[in-house]
Amino acid sequence: MLAEQRQASEGDTTMHKMNYQEKFRPQFHFTPETNWMNDPNGLVYYDGEYHLFYQYHPFGNTWGTMHWGHAVSKDLVHWNHLPIALYPDHNGTIFSGSAVIDWRDTSGFFNGGVGMVAIFTHADEYPDSGRPRQRQSVAYSTDRGRTWIKYEGNPVLSDEAMTDFRDPKVFWHKASNKWVMILAAGNCVRIYRSSNLKQWEFASEFGANEGSHAGVWECPDLFELPVDGDRNRKKWVMVVSVGNSDEYPEGSRTQYFIGQFDGVRFTNENAPETVLWVDHGRDHYAGVTWSDIPEEDGRRLFIAWMSNLKYANHTPTEVWRSAMTIPRSLSLRLTPEGTRLFQTPITELESLRLKKLEWKDIEVKSNEDVLSNISGDIFEIIAEFELNTALEFGFKVRKSADQETIIGYDAEQQMLFIDRTRSGVSDFCEHFPCKHGAVMIPDQNRIQMHIFVDRSSVEVFGNNGEVTMTDLIFPDESSTGIEVYAKEGHVKLVSFMLFSLKKIHPDA
């Protein structure tokens, strides 16, 4: 590892031409040019650019010596790959973290000007025991994130009692006039405060007996959202990822809490045992939101790593490994069960739409394929069904004689589901072929599906983002069939739109 760190520190930032012809390479999701990627890091908007930093191993296509990769975009759809941003040094490798714009130069890094500050975890070992050591450090940039200077006083926060002590997410809390850091600390999160991003004081702890503890807690986020669009009625959302455990076939997942935050403490408004999942699929992890989105935009923008710690090292790609989800806009809405988090695809994705096929008021019966002769490997579906006698209905995508991924609705169980048991290559993990779903109650006897299909993934938004599911799939290139189906009865397809989508890079 030391040799790799020396190589990295010498600035080996050779850029490789991306080959979008590679098998399973997504066509409208973010992927690294080569090698391994995991958690999104340092999401920040500045001077017309969205920055996406990410966990990156430049020496192989499995998890290894962590750096921060870097890309920028003007629309969250088309990305420009930049050289590696942060390299390992004498304090360790570069684990996950966040970035902010220091508008008031509270840090003193910018001589009264404005700049970008990254707050991240340095990971190494205690020299006397070999026990993992994780400490928080700071770096800053005066050139829009192109080059970085690590603070000479690093690390700025440590705790020898904690082994899992990582993934700082920092934001400016206007009401208390302080920077706030939420940090994963074993089976809970800790909150710290600072005036200058360099000296941090402990504020509170949350979660030791709340939510899911099916794995170690990671990659927290904390932000405020209006309820039902009412900016006079806001609540705070805490997002926490839950790592993989051998006991649970689901692997790594992401949960959230709803409550209040006063600048010091977060208070959960639901019962401690309540578990709310951000996404009910298998491949949505380490999701966090962008900092410094302009107020006039008004959105809380979110992206996650589209994989699962249970099998991420073994998915069947070679030159590159892993992708991000499509970016999403988050909102809070009041439901009969209480205030809940909704997700919708960002509107910028509509720029990818090409040919549109549209039908209305179609009766779908058992054993009839009303979408015959329609196919595609990258597309978007927006559909609304009116329930009737069918016990189950939905779509089969990336279909061939022996492969299909089913996105369906079980009317008896009132459950939206994905079935990827016959989706393609799946022998790399016994838990990969599976069927899973979430309860979704019809609205006036109707349910809505918004589906994105890429060459190796499906993302499903049910009932305008009330339920989301994200799954990897690895079908053959020839598996391109699309079918609408019903079982044991009939269902009305009230409306159906299918858009073929542009490839981000037309040479694919």
Q: Taking a C-beta distance cutoff of 8 angstroms, is the pair 183, 202 a contact?
A: no
Q: How far is it, in rounded angstroms, from Cα 64 to Cα 307?
A: 16
| CA neighbor of 226 nearest in space, from 316, 333, 138 | 333
DSSP state, 319? S
Q: Are strands 467-472 and 132-141 parallel, antiparallel or unpaired?
A: unpaired
Cα separation of 178 and 169, whole Å?
A: 14
Q: Considering 12, 39, 228, 454, which one is annotated as catalytic?
A: 39
* Helix H or strand E segment including 9: helix 2-9
For 386-404, b/e burial (b = at least 16 CB within 10 A) is ebbebebbbbbbbbbeebb
| Exposure string over 285-324, b if 16+ CB within 10 A, otherwise e | bbbbbbbbbeeeeebbbbbbbbbbbbbbbebebebbbbbb
Q: State the Cα–Cα distance between residues 280 and 288, nearest whole angstrom.
A: 17
By CB neighbour count within 10 A (0-12 exposed, 13-18 middle, 19+ buried), where does 249 fall?
middle
Residue 335's closest CA among 273, 270, 280? 270
Q: Are 362 and 485 in contact (CB under 8 A)?
A: no
d(CA 200, CA 232): 31
CA geometry: angle 52, 346, 238, nearest 5 deg:
65
The phi and psi torsions of 397 (rounded to 5 degrees) equal: -125, 165
Cis, bond preceding 155 (omega within 30 deg of 0): yes
User: At CA 334, angle to CA 328 and CA 335, rounded to 5?
Assistant: 100
Residue 75 is a catalytic residue: no
Cα angle for residues 318, 321, 324 (degrees, 5° grid): 150
Q: List, by residue number, the catalytic residues.
A: 39
